[in-house]
Amino acid sequence: MEGQARILEGMHSLEPECLELRAAGVMDESAASQAAALERGAVFSVFEELRFVLYAAVASITAGLGLLLKENLNRIGPLALIAALALAAAGCYATALRTRMLGRTRTVGGDYLLLLGALIVSADLGFAETQFHWLGSEWQWYLIILAAFHAIGAYALDSPLVLSLALASLAAWFGIEGRISTNLGAHAVIYAATLLVWRAANKQLSGSAQFGAVFENFAANVGFWGALAWCLTPGMRLYGIATLSVLAAACIVKALRSGEAIFAVYGVTYSALTLSCLEAQIIKDSLSAAVFALMTVVGGALLLWNLSRRVKAAQA
Amino acid sequence: MAAASRLHLKLTQQWIADRIGGWTAPSSIARYAFFVLGAVAAGLIAAIFELLRVPGALFAAGVVMLAAAEWLILGKHLFHAGIEEALWAAGSLALVLQLVEPNIESGVSAAVLAAIALTLAGIRSLNPLFITLAAMVASLAIDLAGGTRLFGDARPAIAAAVFCYLTGMIALIAGRATFRRPSYDQMLNWLMVIMPLCGFLWLATQQALPIRLFTGFASAVFASAALIMGLRRRAHAPLIACIVSLLCVAYQLRDLTALPLKVKLMAWGSIALLLSLGLDRYLRTARRGITSRQIGKGSRALDLLQWVSATTLAPKAAPVDAPFKGGGGRGGGGGADGSF
């Protein structure tokens, strides 16, 4: 390996360090060889670049489709349009099903093709509901139907991306938006609890470990938004503080047990920022409020620092 | 520390610990959180000095922030920890704000000083974001120096755009050099991705044909150069710069046909999708070492970003002519309301 020429020009290479690490026994032979090959440029993955372009492509198609449906396309007629979209979605699902039946692992391209299919189904079902009002005044049940459809698709085809869509549809059914509103607190906390129950049942449903990570991250974030919304709503602050405490404790315990730093970040950052907002609301004197908020943020940073070290130790 | 970070090794391992001289850095996700906490703390420090009505409050706050940042760097040996970076940048910007406060209308000097402050913060903390922001603010200074007003001026910012494209190109070429510090590579990486986009955005609203031709041509040239260099160097940043510049070219080609926007979006998206699928398939077997397969475990942060990005594409709108349903619903009807 030492004799091989470097392919790269420029860019600082850590190949000598890889060799030293192997010699010191810190890395095993295969890991060191792979790392050295990457540093040397003998192996180069464009996986992330492809993922970026595929996302942009799917976003562009979905945006165009949204505009198409918004204009109703009376010339084509709703039935023809619904059928055409269903056919397109079926094509996308068919490739994923074929890969599954052949026992192959889906590539990143296949993942995004499946995501496109799921998004087309979402748009198609929404469009069909606007045209035919099958659910009448209970139209919001289409979001639950969508969530169920995507959940079944996600489990059948083992796709965390499609599972994310199922969770987004469920969040929409719960009325969770990207902004703080009066009702957000209760809805977000119930939604987070639902996800945790679902996460508990994940193994029985033969969901992968990645699904568990999707549930945990969504539940933590939305749960903290709910706590924040309650903390900022007069009359609900006690519920907010109680929820914040429980969630923060749960996230920190999770981080220390699993060695996943992101849960320590959730637990401390959301708590410090929420408490700072709360102090600004309840302390009348601006200077005192700012001093308390600064103490809270500094305390949060110290706690996060301490936890980061312990999480690293847990990883080791 | 770069080896530990890139090769996913623990800083506590003896081989690493012997070489990092007591310096310490958190994980990248914790770094972002520390950066946010540092920025909030900086804002609160400035607010406290303002509320205390200290003469030269921003100057005093800036000195406190810089002192705290230096204490964290020199005393606690923090490197790329986020909090010291936020404090350094906020402290230097607070000093600049104090300097220009009496005549803030003279935007050129304010922009120049802000660019210098961000450059100093970037060099001290080896932070690519600050260096890129400094270059962006410098382009603003160039625009303002040409007599343009900060808001509501429709004149094309050609000089600023040319500066941005040139900065991006210089960063791309400078990437050939080998630096001892990986942080310098990161600075060049950020500059080569962001600056051509910034140059394009300076002129994106201009409808004059020569300007559109210039931005389209400049972005196309940059994309080609970045693609070649990215493949030759086996580097990700030039390839991302190429993708971003190609998006700019696609935007400038919007009037190539008279097709409606929805068709263009679907057509461009389909072309990009098919090309990506083809490339994914072609590179499944490595070609000259280049592969579309993921190598190693990958980044959990990028996975999380991917899941969240997927949810942003999900339709959230209520059926257009559906009757309004109050938030909270009834009978387990969920909380979806007419605003969706």
Q: How far apart are CA A54 and CA A161, in angstroms?
A: 13
Round to the nearest angstrom and report the end-to-end CA distance of chain B: 47
Tell me whether residues B176 and A10 touch, CB distance under 8 A: yes
Q: Are B191 and B131 in contact (CB under 8 A)?
A: yes
Give the pLDDT of residue A12. Answer: 62
- H/E/C letters for each residue in B73-137? HHHCCECCCCHHHHHHHHHHHHHHHHHHHHHCCCHHHHHHHHHHHHHHHHHHHCCHHHHHHHHHH
Chain B residues touching residue A174 (CB < 8 angstroms)? 334-336
Of the candidates B146, B148, B147, B140, the residue with the CA atom closest to the CA atom of residue B111: B140
Q: How far apart are CA B336 and CA A229, in angstroms?
A: 17
Q: Are A1 and A36 in contact (CB under 8 A)?
A: yes
Distances (CA, A) of A204 to A156, A162, A197, B28: 13, 19, 12, 34
A contact test, residue of B16, B197, B264, B276 with most A CBs within 10 A: B276
Chain B residues touching residue A299 (CB < 8 angstroms)? none
DSSP string spanning B232-259? HHT-HHHHHHHHHHHHHHHHHTTTSS--
**In the structure encoding, which two tokens stand for residue A225, read together?**
């938004």
Angular region, B323: left φ>0, alpha ψ -120 to 50, beta rest:
beta
Q: Taken in order A160, A161, A167, A169, is the CA torsion positive or negative? A: negative
Q: Count Cβ atoms below 10 Å from residue B304 Cβ, excluding itself.
A: 17
Of the candidates B236, B189, B198, the residue with the CA atom closest to the CA atom of residue B218: B198
Identify the band that residue B337 occupies on the pLDDT scale cut at 50, 70 and 90: very low
Residue A303 contacts B where some CB pair is shorter than 8 Å? no
Tell me whether residues B335 and A173 touch, CB distance under 8 A: yes
Which amino acid is present at A227? Answer: A
Chain A residues touching residue B276 (CB < 8 angstroms)? 50, 53-54, 57, 109, 112
Q: Which of A27, A46, A290 sits opposite B283 (nearest CB)?
A: A46
Q: How far apart are CA A145 and CA A134, in angstroms?
A: 12
**In the structure encoding, which two tokens stand for residue A106, read together?**
């889906």
Q: Give the residue, B205 or A249, on which the prediction is more confident.
A: A249
Identify the band that residue A73 occupies on the pLDDT scale cut at 50, 70 and 90: low
Q: How far apart are CA A112 and CA B273, in angstroms?
A: 9
Give the pLDDT of residue A6. Answer: 46
* Token pair 């060191």 in the structure block, residue: A32
Mean pLDDT of A178-185: 76
| ipTM, two decimals | 0.84
Residue of chain B with shortest Cα separation from A56: B269
Angular region, B149: left φ>0, alpha ψ -120 to 50, beta rest:
beta
For residue B287, report the phi and psi dihedrals to the nearest 5 degrees: -110, 115
Asked if residue B339 has pLDDT above 60, the reply is: no
Of the candidates A267, A264, A256, A262, the residue with the CA atom closest to the CA atom of residue A310: A256
Any idea what the Cα angle at residue A113 is, between residues A112 and A117, rounded to 5°? Answer: 115
pTM summary value: 0.85
Q: Are A272 and A300 in contact (CB under 8 A)?
A: yes
Q: How far apart are CA B272 and CA B280, in angstroms?
A: 12
- Give the three-state DSSP class for B147: coil
Q: Give the residue, B179 or B132, on which the prediction is more confident.
A: B132
Asked if residue A99 has pLDDT above 90, the reply is: yes
Residue of chain A with shortest Cα separation from B273: A57
Residue A30 contacts B where some CB pair is shorter than 8 Å? no
Q: How far apart are CA B223 and CA B239, in angstroms?
A: 8
Give the pLDDT of residue A33. Answer: 77
Chain pair A-B, CB pairs under 8 angstroms:
335
B contact test, residue of A216, A308, A309 with most B CBs within 10 A: A308
Q: What is the DSSP letter of B102?
A: G
Q: How far apart are CA B155 and CA B148, in angstroms?
A: 7
Q: Are A8 and A37 in contact (CB under 8 A)?
A: no
- Give the three-state DSSP class for B287: strand
Give the pLDDT of residue B291. Answer: 92
* pLDDT tens-digit map of B1-50: 666 666 666 666 677 777 776 777 788 899 999 999 999 999 999 999 99
Q: Count Cβ atoms below 10 Å from residue A180 Cβ, excluding itself.
A: 15
Q: How far apart are CA B46 and CA B94, in angstroms?
A: 8
* pLDDT tens-digit map of B224-278: 999 999 998 889 999 999 999 999 999 988 888 888 998 999 999 999 999 999 9
H-run or E-run covering B64: helix B57-70
